Amino acid sequence: MSTLKTLNGNQSVAEAARQIDPDVVAAYPITPSTSIVETIAKFKADGLITGEFVCPESEHSAMSLCIGAASGGGRVMTATGSQGLALMWEMLYIAAGLRLPIVAGIVNRSLSAPINIHGDHSDTMGARDSGWIQIYSENCQEAYDNFIQAFRIAEHLDVRTPALVGLDGFIISHSLEGIQVEDDEKIKKFAGEYKPVYPMLDTDQKKTVGPIDFTDYYFEHKRNQIEGIENAPKVIEEVGKEFGKEFGREYGFFEEYRTDDAEVCIVVMSSAAGTCKDAVDELRNQGKKVGLLKPRVFRPFPHRKIAEVLKRMKAVAVLDRSSSPGAFGAPLFTEIRSALYDYPERPKIVNYVYGLGGRDIKGEHFKEVASKLERIAKTGKVEEIYGYINLRE
């Protein structure tokens, strides 16, 4: 039966890893993801997991090990964040290109310079075109649930694509929360037995892994890779519903919060969504028709589903915890604005960057955003498409 445990975000991911017990865990510790690796190492030392735990000399080597182990036919995971994920950059594309269903717990942290160890989304947003499925968590419970589901999604025969699960550094990774930890045997049954496709160690099948590929076939092989992530939406929905049926917590591509009769809407991912919900509740008590849309899956981006929710709003603010220097808006904003482009009637839409380097975002900030949206909805005019929240300028 399920047990209520007090765990932080990193411990929640490690607990999910213990229950799934991958064949290989290869990871190099980096703040603020270190305790995921430490906890799994302790599980191994205590005999609570049977898979191999390897701590190589760098994150680049860790992902290289994951690629080798997954190519050999193993169920594989890693954990990192920030500069660690950046050091894996070269290998992220190889893992995706080889259709290897590696699962990574990414504790979101800012990228240098200047050096900062706190949470924002610059690391995973920088990797948004690497071919990995990207799932984001609002709290410790979601980090646990998402990490379990990620194995089922990535390993599905129609997908066979690596997946990462993001949780905000320190805000979630180091914050304690009461979470429902499900029965070990039920989680093992849900995850299922891993069945590798064309494992390199199966010498009865002739195969080539990682060949050189010039103009003759590279294009076709990349198209094959894209097919995997394009097949993921159906699987993500199926796994989320099955998880809900089994454990009582159903998941989709995003969460709508008080959007049924909303006239304006705030879009924000991960931990900040919890704060936004409190602000929305307070504004609703004042009679203001404000809603929240919290994206959970960023890759593959559910553009049609999100657009169907937002198209009827009068004004929408998209909040990004990363920037995209030189672009027309930050990553989440550009995706959502593009998704709404073909609709003849669509809301006015603005973009705010917040929380870089772990800077706080509070309920009052969301109320300020809602106030600006109300003015836009009333006047139909946008004075500033792109701005910042809680920044000294």
CA distance 68 to 76: 10
Domain 254-388 has CATH 3.40.50.920: yes
- The first and second tokens of residue 129, run together, are 């075109």
Residue range 3-247 forms a domain whose CATH class is alpha beta
Per-residue pLDDT for the chain (393 aa), expressed as one digit of tens each?
A: 899 999 999 999 999 999 999 999 999 999 999 999 999 999 999 999 999 999 999 999 999 999 999 999 999 999 999 999 999 999 999 999 999 999 999 999 999 999 999 999 999 999 999 999 999 999 999 999 999 999 999 999 999 999 999 999 999 999 999 999 999 999 999 999 999 999 999 888 888 888 899 999 999 999 999 999 999 999 999 999 999 999 999 999 999 999 999 999 999 999 999 999 999 999 999 999 999 999 999 999 999 999 999 999 999 999 999 999 999 999 999 999 999 999 999 999 999 999 999 999 999 999 999 999 999 999 999 999 999 999 998
Strands (E), 33-145: 52-54, 76-80, 103-108, 133-136
CA-closest candidate to residue 221, choices 230, 234, 231, 211? 211
CA distance 254 to 33: 25
Residue reference for tokens 């991912």: 269
In sequence order, the 6+-apart residues with CB closer than 8 A to the CB of 386 are 328, 329, 333, 350, 351, 352, 353
Does the reported pTM lie above 0.95? Answer: yes
Q: Where in the chain is the domain with CATH 3.40.50.920?
A: 254-388
Q: Where in the chain is the domain with CATH 3.40.50.970?
A: 3-247
Residue 373: the pLDDT is 98
